[in-house]
Structure 1
Amino acid sequence: MKTGGPAPDAQDDPADLLGRSVHDERVVARLNRVGVTEPDTIIQGAFAAYGRSDETGFGLSAEGLALYRQTNGEPRSRVIGTEAELIVSRIDFSDAGCAAPGSRAYEGPLPFGLRFGDPAEGVTKKLGAKPRRKGRSSDLPGRSPVVFVWNYEVGGLAVIVKLTAQHRLAAIYLAPLDRPTRQAREREASLRAMSGRIDPTSLPRIEALRSVVPTARWREAAAEVDMAERDIAEADRLLHCYLDAAKAAAARRSAPALHRATQRLVLGLNRINRRNGLIETLERDELGVFIEAVLTEAGFERARGEDITLTWREW
């Protein structure tokens, strides 16, 4: 029987458990140390949750092998050797009262040298990275002191920290960076090298795409369905500005500029879509085809089947 290696001592890095089978000796040893021997929730071959955060301040989630591979690639270890294998996909640590009033705190050392109660700026310093996203918590008021949620990318990890109203650390979640995020990071690192392959002769071909801007069909459909003309007009302006920016980037042979233009377009469309859900399945597909056409004409390279908008889009 395969294993992930010898059982570690009590000070092992919890992030080392991510991507391992729930039957891996490292994972089993960690669960035994927090007094968890069986999953609290299990869907055979699909999902499992270990550890009640209200009792131990610790939680471990696992996904079925097929889903883990789709999201993250190959796991770090397998043990039972079947498609029903469950792979660790997230680890949670929470302070007292964080999961629910009266819940216990995790008593072991936290990753990255963090401590519950650390100020937000101290968390950022210890993680050695600026937060990629800051938002408010969806926890019900009164059930948890958590108010803010900040997302970081540290090495190959997605690190989610939950903060109190006083911006003090109340919980930390670890997960592997998913495939789209890893691809986005790899792309950012390679953008400058890609610039030499951007085609400055593509300007007429990019300009020709104005004739297929999808908002023309949206206007025709607006009379039959509830689509706000104001939102269509704003989306139309964004798409034409995108074409202008793509042409300017191609003329300069700048892959970073084309990447930034695509990001601005997607974020702008996100704002429009939040108002009334303008972008449904058909509109999303049309936008995807349009953006792909612009990038292809300009010579912007992507992996086969890669959708670079996934990093930013909410539609």
Structure 2
Amino acid sequence: MKAEEIIALIGKSVKQPEVQKVMAYYGLKKPRLSGYESVNVFSDKMGISIDFLPTESYETEYADSAIMLKGNSADHDEPNMELLVACITFEKNFKEGLPYQLKFNESSEQLAELGKPQQKEKNGDGYNCFFLNGQHRILTSFAQDKTLRFLRIWPISNEIKKAIKRKEIAARQSKNLKPEALPAFDHLNLQNPILLWEERRLAGEELFSDVNLQASGLALDTFIDKIKTATAERKANKIGTAIKEVVMAFNRLNEKYQHIDTLEREELCRFIDLVISTSGYELEEGEDVTEEWRRW
């Protein structure tokens, strides 16, 4: 059986005939559901290992695959009770031939088909190379003598997809940043939500105190300074970093002080958008740049 046929099982249910066919061919035991945890089945003799995840866990980790998975479920009444192929590992006893023209018994530096490694790291006396290829993330693990130890393939995770998207957006948005707009940042203080919060505190709103208002104001001042720096340097990736940092800062502050309710969230998000837009960074209509990290 060709390795490519096995790789094609990723994202499919253990109940699918093609998955069962591969498991029978290699003498793999049927995996049993264990909560939300990964379940591994393997054959040292055949040099193959398959990891399964329950549907809910799989979709959390690899959400884009969820559309494909709708047609894979053999039991539509309990979609979260499926086990789905999440990772496949080929080891030295695998005799069927590897994908990407890799070979176990030769010096496997011929990685041209996989392109440039996304990441490279030491692993004991050898090293690992990670690649992104189509819909998959690929790990090639080499021994000290540069021979391939094992090959592992799984879907590209949500986090990696988001990182790729952020990088693409930064490359596109950097040209929109306007250093000449820096003086405009000085006028943003008049629209700072901390002023509104202070007014409500003086009117008797118990959500606020001198301490949490001062800490919130400092977080926004730091955010504005970082956006100004990114604008001056025309580096949109730094704007993305500043957004994450200010949202995480307010996560911590709200966890401590519980001072952000619906109105405060709306005011804060509006101001963050205003600061970003002042730089020249173009926001899409209805876009919530805080959503990915926000816990308030």
TM-score, normalization: structure 2?
0.62
Counterpart selection for 2:275 from 281, 291, 297: 297
Change (3 A) 1:24 1:296: farther
Deviation at 1:176, TM superposition (A): 0.4
CA distance in 1 between counterparts of 2:107 and 2:241 reads 31
Query: What's the counterpart of residue 6 of structure 1?
Result: none
Hey, what does 2:50 align to over in structure 1? Answer: 60
Q: Distance in 2 between matches of 1:194 and 1:261?
A: 10
Q: Identify the match of residue 22 of structure 2 among 24, 30, 39.
A: 30
How do residues 217-256 of structure 1 correspond to structure 2 at under 5 angstroms?
A: 246-251=227-232, 254=234
Superposed CA deviations along residues 58-102 of structure 1, whole A, max 9, x for unmatched, are 00101111111111111532222312111111000111xxxxxxx
**Aligned equivalents of 2:2, 2:108: Cα separation in 1:** 27
1:22-75: CA deviation from partner (whole Å, max 9, x where unpaired): 111221222222222423x652564322223x2221001011111111111115
Q: Out of 85, 96, 116, which is 1:88 matched to?
A: 85
Sort the Cα spacing of 1:162 and 1:12 in 2 relative to 1 into closer, same or farther, 3 A.
Answer: closer
- Output one character per residue of 1:212-259: Cα deviation in whole Å (capped at 9) or x when no partner: xxxxx9xxxxxxxxxxxxxxxxxxxxxx8x97664243246x4xx231
Aligned to 2:113: 126
2-structure distance, mates of 1:47, 1:132: 25
For residues 250 and 290 of structure 2, what CA distance do their matches in structure 1 show? 22
Report SS of the residue matched to 1:116. Answer: coil
Q: Please say if 1:184 is aligned against 2:163.
A: yes
Preserved contact between residue 2 and residue 97 of structure 2 (Cα < 8 Å): no
| Amino acid paired to 2:89 | D
Give 1:282 shift: 8.8
CA contact (8 A) 2:30 2:41 kept: yes
Counterpart mapping for 1:1-315 below 5 A: 10=2, 12-39=4-31, 42-43=33-34, 46-52=37-43, 54-73=44-63, 74=66, 75-76=68-69, 77-81=72-76, 82=78, 83-95=80-92, 105-119=93-107, 121-123=109-111, 125-128=112-115, 130-137=116-123, 147-195=126-174, 198=177, 200=181, 203-204=185-186, 246-251=227-232, 254=234, 257-259=235-237, 285=252, 297-299=275-277, 305-307=291-293
Q: Aligned residue for 2:258?
A: none
Check 1:68–1:204 CA distance in 2 against 1; reply closer, same or farther (3 A cut): farther
Following the alignment from structure 2 to structure 1, what is the Cα–Cα distance between the partners of residues 165 and 126? 32
Q: Give the TM-score normalised by structure 1.
A: 0.59
- Assess if the C-alpha contact under 8 Å between 1:21 and 1:87 holds in 2: yes
Which structure 2 residue ranges, 5 or more long, are not aligned?
193-210, 212-221, 254-268
Q: Cα distance 1:11–1:62, how it changes in 2: closer, same or farther (>3 A)?
A: closer
Of all paired residues, the percent bearing the same amino acid is: 16
Report the Cα offset of residue 14 of structure 1.
2.7
Are the structure 2 counterparts of residues 20 and 106 from structure 1 closer, same or farther at C-alpha, using a change threshold of 3 Å? same
CA change 1:247–1:190 in 2 (3 A) is same
Cα distance change, pair 178–31 in 1 and its aligned pair in 2 (3 A): same
The structure that has the greater radius of gyration is: 2
C-alpha contact 1:150 1:162 (8 A) present in aligned 2: yes
Gaps of 5+ in 1: 1-8, 96-104, 210-216, 218-239, 270-280, 287-291, 309-315
- Please give the secondary structure, in 2, of the residue aligned with 1:88: strand
**Cα separation, 2, equivalents of 1:152 and 1:207:** 46
Secondary structure, aligned partner of 1:18: coil
1:135 and 1:172 map into 2 onto residues whose CA distance is 15
- Which one-letter code corresponds to 2:50 in the other structure? L
